[in-house]
Amino acid sequence: MREIEGIQEAMEVLRPHWGEIEEDFNRQNARYLEMATTDHDAIGRVLRTHLIIENFMNSYLVDLFEFEDYASLRLTFAQKAKMIPKSKSSAAWIRPGIIQLNSVRNKYGHQIDHTVEFSSITTIMDVLSVARPSVEFETPIEAIEAFAPVACAFLSVPPPHLSGAFSLAFSHVHTGTPSDI
């Protein structure tokens, strides 16, 4: 028995239309090649940042909520980001930037040649204006990459002897969800 039964019969049905099928294939192949030759450096850099932050976010949420079987929840990045407290937590400060990063990453999922503009990362830039005030970013991708270690640091649970200081320091911090998402 063949792996794909009936393929020969299917080819016989299509044979009279083969010229049109090849024309359509060539059009679709040209579209594929155009997408494949797009500069994917930005996509890779955004995806890497997204994955690293997600790793830290996973650890943070497990520690915060004391989940016993967190992996079995199969939460999306967006669901995880929305679980980060909006207030009274050092992570609250970077929560909107994480949500905005996810929006940028999702745009690449729907438009492979998407270009990130500074106007689409305003919340990330707000965080960086405090965390990296003297740094000028040439590209939005550089800013996204600079946001990652800041986000990861604030998703890291402080040692017990410092957690009181963090609680006090961030007791009045309250954030929302970026309005452009």
Residue type, 181: I
pLDDT computed for residue 69 by the predictor: 87
Is there a single domain that holds both residue 59 and residue 124?
yes
At residue 162 the predicted structure's pLDDT band, cuts being 50, 70 and 90, is confident
**Global pTM?**
0.78
Residue 22, domain extent: 7-36
Tally of domains within the chain: 2
Are 30 and 48 part of one and the same domain? no
Give the whole-number percent of the chain exceeding pLDDT 70.
90
Instruction: State the pLDDT confidence band at 176, using cuts at 50, 70 and 90.
Output: low
Same domain, 45 and 31: no
- The answer to whether 108 and 46 are in contact (CB under 8 A) is yes
pLDDT at 38: 73
pLDDT at 172 over 70: no
Q: Are residues 63 and 131 in the same domain?
A: yes
Do 122 and 47 lie in a common domain? yes
- Give whole-number Cα distances, 176 to 100, 110, 123, 125, in Å: 11, 25, 11, 16
Is 174 part of a structural domain of the chain? Answer: no
- The encoded tokens of residue 146 equal 């600079």
Rounded Cα–Cα distance for residues 178 and 181 (Å)? 6
Q: Quick one: 46 and 135 in the same domain?
A: yes
Q: Per-residue pLDDT tens for 19-42?
A: 998 998 889 998 888 877 777 788
Whether 15 and 86 share a structural domain: no
Domain membership of residue 179 (yes or no) is: no
Same domain, 45 and 72: yes
For residue range 102-146, what is the model confidence (pLDDT) as tens digits?
A: 999 999 888 888 899 999 999 999 999 999 999 999 999 999 999
Asked if the structure places residue 177 within a domain, the reply is: no
Residue 178: the pLDDT is 66
124 closest CA partner among 81, 63, 167: 81
* pLDDT band at 171; cut points 50, 70, 90: low
